[in-house]
Amino acid sequence: MTMSDLTPHPQSAARTVEAPCGTPGGTAKTAAGRADPWTIARVIGPAETAACWLVDIDERVHLLERAAGCLIEPRPGDRVVVFADAGSPRFITMVLSRATLGEATLSAGSGEALRIEAPRLALAAGHEITIEAPALAVDADRATLTVRTLGFGGDVLRAVARRIESVADDLHSVAGRAIRKATTQVTVVEGADVLRAGQVIHEAREVMTLDAEQVVVTAREDVRVDGERISMG
């Protein structure tokens, strides 16, 4: 195969397919005259009606399957290694080189799931790692996330845990409406606790206690105290 064979031919689609996917076709010969099961070919493109690929082998087009161990999905123009079974080309076993630079896709083929198992697994990218899926599930005994800036965008965020701890130098929270419900709530503020609101309503079913060294109540108009019994002093 020459360098000119690495570029797609306009007439490739019009060439006759030598054999359907996996059926007998041509194969190369060794110097001793025996059939060589391995050959280098060029990918034309994916077949339209089967999970096979159109491959150019010595100017003949073959429909070949992708071997289960060939996880890199071929692209048109790629140079690949082809294995012949019983004298007929059957499988694309490896992608040797790419016709153009671009994104490489890892897949198990035939719509099968791809699972990676190892004692330790590390993913490293110089620029970005992107995960796209209709659903994402992470199951671990312990997870640690360390980032300089973390952003989240979504419609609903739900957190369910027995205990939640958050520590920050500054905590800013903005909401159109905030509702908080608890059996018991304790708030400890070392410095000043400032509340600014249009209206403040405190309602207690039993007892409300206010204890301070000094209490100052200032009103621009009226101060009203109403009760069955009022004790002062």
Average pLDDT of adjacent 10-residue blocks, the chain of 233 residues? 40 50 50 68 86 88 88 91 82 90 80 85 91 92 91 90 92 92 92 92 91 91 90 82
Q: What is the CATH number of the domain that holds 75?
A: 2.40.50.140
Q: Residue 189 falls within a domain, yes or no? A: no
Q: Residue 67 falls within a domain, yes or no? A: yes
Q: How far is CA 32 from CA 28, 29, 36, 137, in A?
A: 12, 8, 10, 56
pLDDT of residue 218: 92
Q: Residue 139 falls within a domain, yes or no? A: no
Give pTM, 2 decimals.
0.58
pLDDT of residue 12: 42
Q: How far is CA 55 from CA 8, 44, 94, in A?
A: 11, 5, 13
Q: Residue 129 falls within a domain, yes or no? A: no
Q: Residue 80 falls within a domain, yes or no? A: yes
Distance CA 209, CA 233 (A): 16
Taking only Cα atoms into account, the Rg of the chain, rounded to an integer number of angstroms, comes to 36
pLDDT of residue 110: 66
pLDDT of residue 118: 92
Tokens representing residue 8 in the block: 């797609």
Q: Residue 19 falls within a domain, yes or no? A: no
pLDDT of residue 20: 56
Which domain range does residue 93 map to?
Answer: 26-97
Q: Residue 178 falls within a domain, yes or no? A: no
Number of domains in the chain: 1
Q: Residue 46 falls within a domain, yes or no? A: yes
